[in-house]
Structure 1
């Protein structure tokens, strides 16, 4: 039986307006929090709605969308009636064939883990996953979901990879990014290494079609970058370097310029953190060459910021300022349909944070503190790990700018956030701030922070 074609949801697309899919997904998550809902909306979900793959949202999304667009009905938003989608009208409607890759997504109305799926006997494993992942539990529990939801072990691979395996690799990348945004890298890294091995084993096995093999190359490369970032953020720099190099090799084998630019961006970031600023500059410039034909000003802005960080490390203020000017110019061009999905984290808050690091490296800590404070104010609270990072940067800038009491206040806020976020990088930054505050421990606020930090 031939599959029914999807009709694009042009009404929903018009409502998105000039926002990119990633930006609109962030607005959906924000609206969900306003009414006490939890949805794992990302750019892919928005794309599936607009393409018509999702003909009717689940009940959680329905409440969020109607909250976002008061006075409108689901029909106004371009959706089909629920009974028509699920075959619950008076007459029996033959269900359309379902792509296994669609069913793998927990937001699909017919996914067995969907909260309102008619199936009453869910498996114990699926129920644990739904509670832990959708409710955003502790980092330890969230990390455990990776073993349930990502790719299986290499002993049970198909002889040839198909669409379902390619979709599983892509979903693994999204889940890792989502969990890292909420909880930080430390609890996730070891859990994420096995799915990466499986992704590359699938590549070795080959695919049923060339389009599937292209998806596998892109997915495995992005997974390598994501796992590399988990290693990077948890202080495992050599592991991170290995994973980023693996991603770069995958990009060049498959001719994927977007993946190549992503790998170089992260390599530039890692080189800066490892104290190799000239390598950071060169990696950022290589990333810019790869990214130039892609038509994404935001990607070029990020790479310019990576380059600026390298120039700051070399003490070249003029070159740093030139790179920062390029970054602001590209960023001001706004979002584009060519922006990679992984760049959903890169907004004005991240731009402010990366600029603050440049000024801090150049020794201008008061100026750095202004940018770090702005980053924290602009950051969506959903991204708990980034809020903690920007606040830790602010604390460090403040103590070095001669404002120990303010630094102690910011440090205390980081300690609050670290109850849910596990990041060696952030904790190491806070440790340095605490050491810098020791000469000011007679201040009641500083003393209280140092006591609490020591206990933590």
Structure 2
């Protein structure tokens, strides 16, 4: 007999809120762990009002979004808005499986049709302007939620998996391309809930690792570490490929680097390289198209830069640039920005400005807020040379009408 997956929505929200185990969640709630197990079963009992409030406070979601069903004859509880502990708010209540007498059940073909659009968005991400693509991705996610209310069995499972990828893509655009981390957090929580509905641990690991960037980039090492630990736990259930595990090391390395722990970050990069060298018998999931050995080299170059190892960073970044395919314009922008930062730190303002202008050239083709962020950091580092002609020429590019209006609008 197949084992029940239980209340996936509560499980996903618990992990996203920073409680990787039922015991930790029980302690935060002030209840026995057996109570949490009952709530995470396939037929969770309706919580008492005081527990409803505590569950809402810890997860940022109302009790219905956590997989609880209001008993017959009970009034709907008053919704209390509160910020969750980790991934902030924004969760939705995923529709239940339709009953025989309820909503109409869609044919199995809707799953493959929905997946096809998801794959198209995945490919379009690398060339379409994020402000153009993002509304389409979000609308596709809304469609996926609607389809869950009209699908069951394997069809529902497939739709949920594609929905998780869709929301992950939306979160990546919000965080990396548009630099809207306050929007990315709730979106990634939606993605995690959908991955739980699909019972896809590798997708869950990918979502949790992406969510680690949000606190990692602000220097919150504790929260970033919790999410990376959860991502690794999910990856072990995968099973994960060597490339996937290498990427997890690279994500943690970037978070550690941004928190000022460059020695730890360099160690993690070394571990990531070893993982790729060893390889594994498992292959990458189709949707993991954002990482490869060249991307790892880019991670490494940035980590060396943050550690002050300028000659090594220059060599690593130039090597990555040589191997970067022309179609990967967004990553080229980031590498140009890091090379500019290397030269600025090395006291070579003309070379720094040259690389910064190459990054701006690429941004005119494909906008990438993370790349522009790198260039602004370089310009701040060039303040001692602001009267040099090369820096003035850079300012003419950096503060033109188009780039200035674009920067202010974001």
Q: What TM-score results when the alignment is normalised by the length of structure 2?
A: 0.67
C-alpha distance after superposition, 1:236-264 (max 9, x if no partner): 11111111111112223332111111111
Unaligned ranges ≥5, structure 2: 1-102, 404-410
Counterpart in 2 of 1:320? 265
Paired position in structure 2 for 1:142: none
The change in CA–CA distance for 1:315 and 1:429 in structure 2 (over 3 A counts) is closer
Q: Which residues of 2 match residues 41-440 of structure 1 at below 5 A?
A: 159-207=104-152, 210-233=153-176, 234-293=178-237, 294-334=239-279, 337-440=282-385
| Cα contact 2:344–2:352 (8 A) shared by 1 | yes
Deviations 1:376-409 (A, max 9, x none): 2221111222212221222223212322211111
Q: Deviations over 1:106-161 (max 9, x none)?
A: xxxxxxxxxxxxxxxxxxxxxxxxxxxxxxxxxxxxxxxxxxxxxxxxxxxx9323
Other structure's SS at 1:307 match: helix
d(CA) in 1 for partners of 2:326, 2:183: 30
Specify whether residues 454 and 295 from structure 1 end up closer, same or farther in structure 2 by C-alpha distance, changes over 3 A only: closer
> Is the CA contact 1:356–1:369 (under 8 Å) kept in the aligned structure 2?
yes
8 Å Cα contact 2:174-2:181 kept in structure 1: yes
What SS does the corresponding residue of 1:339 show, helix, strand or coil? coil
For residues 113 and 216 of structure 2, what CA distance do their matches in structure 1 show? 33
Instruction: State whether residues 292 and 300 of structure 1, in contact with CA within 8 Å, keep that contact through their aligned partners in structure 2.
Output: no
Residue 317 of structure 1 deviates from its aligned partner by: 4.2
Deviation of the 1:363 alpha carbon: 4.1
- Paired residues of 1:269 and 1:306 also in contact (CA < 8 A): yes
Q: 1:258-293 deviations in whole A, cap 9, x for unaligned?
A: 111111121122332233233222222221221124
8 Å contact kept, 1:221–1:248: yes
SS in 2 for 1:343: coil
The SS at the match of 2:287 is: helix
1:219 CA displacement: 0.6
1:184 shift after superposition? 4.8
Q: Deviations over 1:3-22 (max 9, x none)?
A: xxxxxxxxxxxxxxxxxxxx
Could you tell me the TM-score, scaled by structure 1's length?
0.60
Aligned partners of 1:394 and 1:410 also within 8 Å = yes
* Cross-structure match for 1:450: 395
CA contact (8 A) 2:295 2:320 kept: yes
Q: 1:386 to 1:169 in 2, by over 3 A?
A: farther
> Could you tell me how far 1:448 is from its partner in structure 2?
2.1
Matched position secondary structure for 2:234: helix
* Cα deviations by residue, 1:189-248 (Å, 9 ceiling, x for unpaired): 2332111111111112223xx221211111111111011111112111111111111111
Structure 1 residue aligned with 2:75: none
* Higher relative contact order, structure no. (Cα contacts within 8 Å, ≥ 6 residues apart): 2
Q: Distance in 1 between matches of 2:342 and 2:132?
A: 28
Residues in 1 aligned to 2:221 and 2:383: alpha-carbon distance in whole angstroms: 30
Instruction: Using the TM superposition, give the Cα deviation of residue 163 of structure 1 relative to its aligned residue in structure 2, in angstroms.
Output: 3.5
Cα separation, 2, equivalents of 1:186 and 1:349: 27
